[in-house]
Structure 1
Amino acid sequence: MRSLLHISNPSACKKHCCSTCRCIVIVIVPATVSLGLFLGALAAASNVYFTSPNQAFTFPRPFSSGCDIFSGDWVPDPDAPYYTNDTCSVIHEHYDCMKYGKPDLGFVKWRWQPDGCDLPRFDPWRFLDRMRGKSIAFVGDSLARNHKDSLICLLTRAAEPKPSWPSSKQTVYYYGEYNFTVTNFWAPYLVRHEQIDEDGPAHTGLWNLYLDEPDGVWAAHLAELDYVVVSASSWFYRPSMLYEAGRMVGCHYCLQPNVTDLTLRYALRMATRAALRALSGADGRFRGTAMLRTVDPSQYEGGEWNKDGNCVRTRPNRRGEKTLEGVELDFRNLQVEEFAAAEKAAADAGGEVRMTLMDTTAAMILRADAHPSKYRGWTPEKHFTLHNDCVHWCLPGAIDTWNDMLLHMLVPA
C-alpha cells in the first residue's frame, strides 16, 4: 500500500435516467457499492429535473452561537493527514485511493475553515471521552458508510474497536475501554423497500418503496441508540413504485400505463419525512440526538458519468466558483424543509429529542479534487460497467471534515 506519510434513447430511458449524474449518499456490502456508484452518477447526469435559476441556495441558522460551521472555505493544512491506509485497516477498497495509485495526493492537505470562527481538527480522545457509555449509528447508503469509515480511521490514533456483523445490513464497532459503540445500518432508501425487477426500465432495477414505513433494519434499534446520523439521496434515482398506507400512490420512472409519475423528489421527501418522524420522539422509542446530513453534490467534469466525465482537479475550488444546482439543489432544499418540520415536531413532543442539521453540502461542492476517480477497487455487477467515481470520497481526505463537524456538534465550543 502507498502511505500518505511520504507526501509534504433508447431516448426515453436516456433522457430520464442517465443525463446529469450523481451517486451514492451509511453501511453497505461491497457488491452494493458499485450499484450505488452508478446511480450516484445518474444524479449528476439527469437534466430532466431542474430548479428555477432564481431559487437560492441558503444556509440554516448557525449550529451554535456566533459560529456557522457550514459556511467557510478550504485552507491549507500542512499537518494532515492524521491517519493513512497503513494505519487504518477499515478503509473499504472503494475509497482507498492511495492503494490504487491516485497520483495527486495533495488533496489531503486542506482543512475546512468556517467564517469568523475556528473548527478544530478531530480530537479522538476528546470524542471518545464524550461518547463514553454511548452509541452512535449511521443510517443510509454508501456515502454514510464512507462517513463511518472516516470516523473509525480518525479514532485509530486513540483506540481500536472490536468489529462484528450481526447481519449483512449491520456492522458494529465496539470500543470496550469506553463502552462506546458505532453501528452502520445499510438503509439506502431509509424506508422499507424491496426489489421487484433486477433489470427494470433503466437497467438498474425496479423497487417498491413504502414511503411511510421506516426501514426496520435501523428503526427496530431506536430505543438503544443515543445518536443517529441519517443521510440518503442517490438511490432515489432508480425507478421505483411508491406506496403509502399499503396502497400504491404513484411511481418514479416506472413507465407503466395509468401510474402517475410523482418524481424522485417526492420519493425522497416522503422517505426523509418518515425517517425523521421516527426520530422525533413522538412514539417514545428514541430519546437521543438525531442528525440529518444534507446531500453531496456530484463532481463530474468534462462529460457525463458514463461519457468520460471525471474529477481530475488537484486543488479545491474557491468559494463561489461552483454552485449547487438542479435536482441536487432541490434535494438539499427539501431536506432542510423536512428537517425544520421534524425539529418542530420534536419540540411539540416534549423536547427530549435533539434535532440537528449537518449541512455539509456547501463545503463538499468545492472538493472535486478529493474523489477516487478511477483510483479505487470495484467489481462491476451484472448490468454495470466501471466508470470514474466522482461521488464517493478518498480516505484519508476531505470527508474527514464531516467528523470535525460532528465533534463540534456534539461538544459545541
Structure 2
Amino acid sequence: MANYIALALLVLPLLQVVITAGEPNIQDYTKRFEKKESCDLYHGSWVYDKSYPLYDSSQCSFLEVSFACQRNGRPDKLYLKYRWQPSACNLPRFDGIDFLKRFRNKKIMFIGDSLSLNQWQSLICMLHTATPHSNSERIGPLSTFTFMEYNVSVMLMRNAFLVDIEHKRYGRVLKLDKLGYEKTWDGIDVLIFNTWHWWRHTGREQPWDFIQEGKRLRRDMDRLAAYEEALKTWARWVDTNVDPEKTKVFFQGISPDHSNASNWGNHNGIECKGETKPIFAPAYPRHHPAEMVVEKVLRTMLKPVHLLNVTRLSQQRKDAHPSIYGLGGHYGMDCSHWCLAGVPDTWNQLLYAELISK
C-alpha cells in the first residue's frame, strides 16, 4: 500500500494541471456511434477541469440537506473540479436541453435507496440548470419532477430492497421472492434500479426482523446470498414484463463507501474526514463482492439490462463524500452518500452517454 501511495503522490501534481482536450458536444458523440465506434466508458481516470462543476448547487433549492456540502460549510472546493475521463474516448458534456428534447413526453424513474435519491437529485439539478421551469410533487414513496416545457417526468420511487417488507403480527418480514411497488414501474420509459446499501445493516438499523423465501422463515442469513435471491426475483420481473422496444432498463452499480481510511494508507484518518483529493493509485480499486453478485445475475437475464458500472471509478473518490458536512454535521459522519455537485453527476453523464448509444 505504501508503494501505491507514493505513486499517487508522484502522479498527483501532473493530474492537477492537466485539462484534456475536453468533452465533445453531443453531436460529435452521436456521430461516433453512427460509425459504430465504441470504447469502455468506465475505464479511465479523474482529471482536473477548471470548468467544473456542471452546475451551482446553491441554485438547487430542493437539494437535500444531506448532500448540500457547500451550503453546510464545507470549506474546500477542489473536489468539485474533477471530471471522469475514459482512457480511449471522451464522455459528452451533459446537455440538459438535448436530454429533455430526446425524452419529450417520456417518464424516467429511479428505484432504490438513498443512493438513488442522490443520483435522482443530481439529474434534477443538471436539468434544472438548463430549464428552471418545473413542477414537483410527492405522493407516498414516489417523488416526481416534471419539466413542463418538454413534459418530461423524472421520478424517484424509494424502495431500498426492491423486494417487499411485510408487517406481520410477529414482526417485519423481508420477502425475498416478492417485489415491492412493482406496479408503479409499468409504463415507464427508462428505469434505473439500485439496491445494496441497506442489506448490510444489523441491529437497531436493520429494518426487518425475519427473512422469508418461499415458506422458509429465518432470523437472518448470509447477506450476499439474500441479496442475490432478491435480485433474481427482480430479474424475473424484468424478463417477464419489460418490452425492450418501449423501456430501457439500467442497474446503478454499487456505490462504495470510504469508512476505513487505512484502505488508502491514511492509518491515522477518521473515515473520510478531511479528505480533499481522489485516490490516484491505480491498484486501489478492488472488486466489490456485491457488484460481482449483480454482474452474475445480469448475465442470466433474457432481457437487456445495462449496468452503470460506477463502482471502481467511485472507489477513487474518497474526497467527495459529505463527511461532517452532511445532515449530522460534526455529530455525524457520512462517507456513504455524495456531495452535490459531485460524483453522481458523473453517473448521470454516463447514463446520458449510455442512453444515446442504446
> TM-score, normalization: structure 2?
0.80
Separation in structure 1 between the aligned mates of residue 153 and residue 117 of structure 2, nearest angstrom: 15
- Who is 2:7 aligned against? none
> Given the alignment of the two structures, is residue 271 of structure 1 paired with residue 221 of structure 2, yes or no?
no
- Who is 1:81 aligned against? 53
- Who is 1:11 aligned against? none
After superposition, the Cα gap between the structure-2 partners of 1:132 and 1:319, relative to the gap in structure 1 and judged at 3 Å, is farther
Q: Give a deviation string over 1:77-106, Cα, whole Å, max 9, x none.
A: 110122123211121000000011112211
Cα distance, 1:140 vs structure 2: 0.5
Code of the aligned partner of 1:248: R
Code of the aligned partner of 1:333: M
- Who is 1:316 aligned against? 278
Q: Give a deviation string over 1:120-164, Cα, whole Å, max 9, x none.
A: 221101111111111110000001000000000011122232001
Which of 330, 352, 355 is the equivalent residue of 1:407?
352
Which of 348, 356, 363 is the equivalent residue of 2:306?
356
Separation in structure 1 between the aligned mates of residue 297 and residue 353 of structure 2, nearest angstrom: 23
SS in 2 for 1:174: strand
| Alignment of structure 1 residues 231-270 onto 2, 5 Å | 231-239=194-202, 240=208, 241-245=210-214, 247-252=215-220, 262-270=221-229
Separation in structure 2 between the aligned mates of residue 409 and residue 312 of structure 1, nearest angstrom: 34
Separation in structure 2 between the aligned mates of residue 274 and residue 290 of structure 1, nearest angstrom: 15
| Alignment of structure 1 residues 179-190 onto 2, 5 Å | 179-190=151-162
SS in 2 for 1:232: coil
SS in 1 for 2:348: helix
After superposition, the Cα gap between the structure-2 partners of 1:163 and 1:299, relative to the gap in structure 1 and judged at 3 Å, is same
- Who is 2:256 aligned against? 297
* C-alpha RMSD over aligned residues: 2.6
Which of 82, 86, 100 is the equivalent residue of 2:72?
100
After superposition, the Cα gap between the structure-2 partners of 1:128 and 1:263, relative to the gap in structure 1 and judged at 3 Å, is same
| Alignment of structure 1 residues 23-102 onto 2, 5 Å | 65-102=37-74
Contact 1:107 1:398 in 2 (8 A): no
Contact 1:140 1:230 in 2 (8 A): yes
Q: Give a deviation string over 1:13-62, Cα, whole Å, max 9, x none.
A: xxxxxxxxxxxxxxxxxxxxxxxxxxxxxxxxxxxxxxxxxxxxxxxxxx
Separation in structure 2 between the aligned mates of residue 72 and residue 194 of structure 1, nearest angstrom: 43
Code of the aligned partner of 2:41: I
Higher fraction of helix:
2
SS in 2 for 1:173: strand
Q: Give a deviation string over 1:298-352, Cα, whole Å, max 9, x none.
A: 2124479xx9433422111115242225xxx21010001111112xx22xxxxxx
Code of the aligned partner of 1:79: S
After superposition, the Cα gap between the structure-2 partners of 1:335 and 1:159, relative to the gap in structure 1 and judged at 3 Å, is same
Code of the aligned partner of 2:183: A
Separation in structure 2 between the aligned mates of residue 292 and residue 411 of structure 1, nearest angstrom: 16
Code of the aligned partner of 2:131: A
Q: Identical aligned pairs, as a percentage? A: 27
Code of the aligned partner of 1:78: K
Contact 1:312 1:368 in 2 (8 A): no
Code of the aligned partner of 2:232: R
How many residue pairs align between the two structures? 311
After superposition, the Cα gap between the structure-2 partners of 1:143 and 1:283, relative to the gap in structure 1 and judged at 3 Å, is closer
SS in 2 for 1:369: coil
Contact 1:164 1:171 in 2 (8 A): yes
| Alignment of structure 1 residues 193-208 onto 2, 5 Å | 193-194=165-166, 207-208=172-173
> TM-score, normalization: structure 1?
0.70
After superposition, the Cα gap between the structure-2 partners of 1:292 and 1:319, relative to the gap in structure 1 and judged at 3 Å, is farther
Code of the aligned partner of 1:170: L
Q: Which blocks of at least 5 consecutive residues in structure 1 are unaligned? A: 1-62, 198-205, 253-261, 347-353, 380-384
- Who is 1:21 aligned against? none
Contact 1:243 1:249 in 2 (8 A): yes
Structure 1 outlier segments of 4+, above 3 Å: 194-197, 283-287, 301-304
After superposition, the Cα gap between the structure-2 partners of 1:195 and 1:311, relative to the gap in structure 1 and judged at 3 Å, is farther
